[in-house]
């Protein structure tokens, strides 16, 4: 694997960890040239999992796209990178379970999974993501979403 710091192809694996229910392996590596440490991921390639867009187009599932969206929503929030990685793994696992039969998932269902996961981590990030995902166009839409979020909190507390 090429070192992202110096470009050397000579490295050693320091640690390996299984992720996503055995579907992926995370490897910590160290470059033998410059001693820079970096992480690589290995995943099993299966039949390509597709996302069905609102207009009917199909495009390949892109884990990186989900990760970027989650990171953007959680930007400058008190959430660790490990929590984000775990959330993205959970979303990917749930999406594959939902689309196991025909190897595809509707973009709306995928967006709902992301929104639900972000909501469990951080309420401010939830509103950020919801505003883009649901295309909020005015303040009333923000207020309604915040009220729904608030009423969901109070109903959860009543159940306890």
Q: What is the model's pTM?
A: 0.61
Q: Where on the phi/psi map is residue 103: left (φ > 0), alpha (ψ -120 to 50), or beta? A: left
Q: What is the pLDDT of residues 92-151, one digit of tens each?
A: 989 988 888 888 999 999 999 999 999 899 888 988 888 887 777 778 777 887 777 776
The stretches of the chain forming alpha helices (DSSP H) are 63-73, 81-98, 107-121, 123-133, 139-159
Distance between CA atoms of residues 74 and 122, nearest Å: 8
3-state secondary structure of 38: strand
Segment 10-46, tens digit of pLDDT: 999 999 998 867 778 999 999 999 999 999 988 876 6
Structure tokens at 84: 């984000």
Residue 35 tokens, joined: 């001693």
Per-residue burial over 2-21, b if 16 or more Cβ lie within 10 Å, else e, is ebeeeeeeebeeeeeeebbe
Contacts of 1 (CB under 8 A, 6+ apart): 9, 11, 29, 40
């Amino acid at each position: 694997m090429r070192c992202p710091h110096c470009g050397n192809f000579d490295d050693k694996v320091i640690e390996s960890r299984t992720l996503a229910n055995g579907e992926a392996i995370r490897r910590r590596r160290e470059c033998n040239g410059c001693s820079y440490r970096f992480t690589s991921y290995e995943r099993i390639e299966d039949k390509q999992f597709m996302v069905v867009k609102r207009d009917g187009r199909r495009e390949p599932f892109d884990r990186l796209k989900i990760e970027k969206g989650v990171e953007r929503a959680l930007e400058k929030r008190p959430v660790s990178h490990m929590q984000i990685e775990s959330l993205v793994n959970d979303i990917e696992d749930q999406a594959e379970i939902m689309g196991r039969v025909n190897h595809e998932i509707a973009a709306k269902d995928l967006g709902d999974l992301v929104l639900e996961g972000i909501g469990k981590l951080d309420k401010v990030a939830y509103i950020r993501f919801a505003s883009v995902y649901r295309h909020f166009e005015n303040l009333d839409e923000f207020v309604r979403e915040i009220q729904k979020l608030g009423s969901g909190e109070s109903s959860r507390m009543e159940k306890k």
